[in-house]
Structure 1
């Protein structure tokens, strides 16, 4: 009996020693390490999605899908040459373009605002995540809000055409910063709605990348005088210089602020077109990354299309979208919160961690 009690006592002592050892090495109540998520939740192909306006829809690149080339009033002008289709991100097997030419931030956001008959892009994203695993959302928006960049280009054309008028930059400059400041909260709100859509679908911030990109200057002062007219780029030199060296840079700074406030990464395209603006190639437009003044003459014979005959003018062309897509691919492969697309020694755009201070 005593021997039996000894074995019981010894067993209890051994149990206490082992239990104490567990507490020494793991600590009382230590939770297991975090489980690494396999990526975006749900089912379906790993996907990159573009949202926003003409910069990402593919305006200027041509070959627009029939459903977005005027059918039933849809002029979103989505092109298979758009930047999102020029990306090459490891693991991504599907690329979707929901951007629409002319879209304001309110149409990218959740709500009832439509652009060329199309509903909210964030709402379209909500439908997409039902059967796609979205790993990247890239957004370009803001220029069609308070800055009204397309109207600015038209105003500068009128300043060239009407010789008695002063440069467009004189009047625009005085109000430009105020317009940018008014734009920022609208872009922040649109990005917040994109994040809300993904959160509702069970996404956590680490499941995807959200990138806001800015705009490149489509025109600049370094063009041959014989193209500074209706044959290519009908603008005054001082206005061309303002767009490239002031207007677009200030717009990009505002978008960088919006990206920070929204918790998005930022890709600065403000200097991406240097040396490749519309008309900069002179007799060789193949060197340019932006469309020149483009008039679709056949559309002038159709009352429904005549108002869109100039829509492609001064947007990234197929070459430009290819360069932007390459730079975006490089940026997505980094952990940088922001970068700038700058031309490298090979002549192509690359994602640079720092941006030169000088214009």
Structure 2
């Protein structure tokens, strides 16, 4: 009997010493409703110009975040503010949690945590993956060098390895997206408290180059490489991003065909009103400064301000639908709209 009483006392003392776990607080209900963009140049605003102070080379920061980026162009009346954490050139590990630094900036997911604590995050939009094993911007550079004659067509040099590169990207992107889920969960958000949207990449170039522009004046690509980028590279990359989105139960927005008819060099007249991507762009003044010269071509073949406006409008439409997946396609009015598609 004494032993039983002593054991009972120990258990009671133990219960007193170990408090009941405190449930995590829910997301702020009365705080500003916000959307957060994360990822690389496709969503940071690279190519749109007017870059935020501190992100245009100052102290080594070339993230090129623009007020014209798609996340700021959604025109959603129910959203109080949009945040852009994306950074040009960012690989997936910098989007997630960890020690990877991109252009002096630490983990985007860590910065998301602070935003989620002070605001009511209703959606996180991610554009990432191309800067992992695919190295899409480097591939485009290789295509340009092939046009100059410094190598074989990029479709021949990269094409046989492209699927393998994309396959290696998928787990890294999944990890970054899972980190975002973890950050939001630690901030008290259940998965149905916010939308996690993963968007793919638009083809910046296509086969319908206007006469006289398939050179250094606009788009120096071989015709076979234009076909490979449009018909193979971008679709395969899109499939990989879609797969990663499915593995974390995220919604998916397909941009792969969003630029059809509006690619760089597709208009012989009035390109500033018809093209949604920058052509080969050289910042000539930057070439005169050693610390900026290596970034003088950074804007090339990225969405311009008009392209970001179109992508943002489509994204806003998608946010307001229950569809698990959609594709940004041109409607009868010539603008992009979110067309429901088979989702992950």
TM-score by length of 2: 0.90
Partner residue in 1 for 2:71: 84
Matched, 1:336 2:323: yes
For residue 88 of structure 1, report the CA deviation from its aligned partner.
Answer: 2.2
Match of 2:10 in 1: none
Matches within 5 A, 1:229-308: 229-286=215-272, 287-308=274-295
Cα displacement string for residues 100-120 of structure 1 (whole angstroms, at most 9, x for unaligned residues): 000000000001101000000
Task: Name 1:310's counterpart in structure 2.
Answer: 297
Using the alignment, how far apart are the partners of 2:98 and 2:280 within structure 1? 34
Task: Name the counterpart of 1:44.
Answer: 31
Q: CA deviation at 1:131?
A: 1.3
The corresponding residue for 2:333 is: 346
- Residue of 86, 94, 103 corresponding to 1:107: 94
Alignment correspondent of 2:84: 97
Q: Secondary structure at the match of 1:95?
A: strand
2:138: which partner in 1? 151
The Cα shift of 1:42 comes to 5.5
Is the aligned partner of 1:132 residue 2:119? yes
Q: Distance in 1 between matches of 2:208 and 2:281?
A: 20
Query: RMSD of aligned C-alpha atoms?
Result: 1.2
2:53 corresponding residue in structure 1: 66
Secondary structure of the residue that 1:47 maps to in structure 2?
strand
**2:311 counterpart residue number:** 324
Deviations 1:201-228 (A, max 9, x none): 1001111000000000000110123101
Partner in structure 2 of residue 5 of structure 1? none
Aligned to 1:203: 189
Structure 1 counterpart SS, 2:207: coil
* d(CA) in 2 for partners of 1:66, 1:300: 20
- SS of aligned partner of 1:66: coil
Residue 283 of structure 1: CA displacement? 2.7
Residue of structure 1 in register with 2:8 after alignment: none
- Cα deviation 1:94-153 (Å, max 9, x = unaligned): 110000000000000001101000000000101112211111100000000010000000
> Matches of 2:269 and 2:146 in 1, distance apart?
25
Check conservation: 2:28, 2:119, Cα contact below 8 A.
no
Q: Unaligned stretches of 5+ in structure 2?
A: 1-25
With normalisation by structure 1, the TM-score equals 0.86
What is the Cα deviation at residue 46 of structure 1? 0.6
Q: Paired residue for 2:41?
A: 54
Pair member with larger Rg: 1
Whole-angstrom CA distance in 2 between matches of 1:129 and 1:65:
22
Q: Residue 281 of structure 1: CA displacement?
A: 0.9
For residues 34 and 129 of structure 2, the distance between their equivalents in structure 1, rounded to whole angstroms, comes to 24
- 8 Å contact 2:211–2:268 — kept in the other structure? no
Q: Which runs of 5+ in 1 are unaligned?
A: 1-38
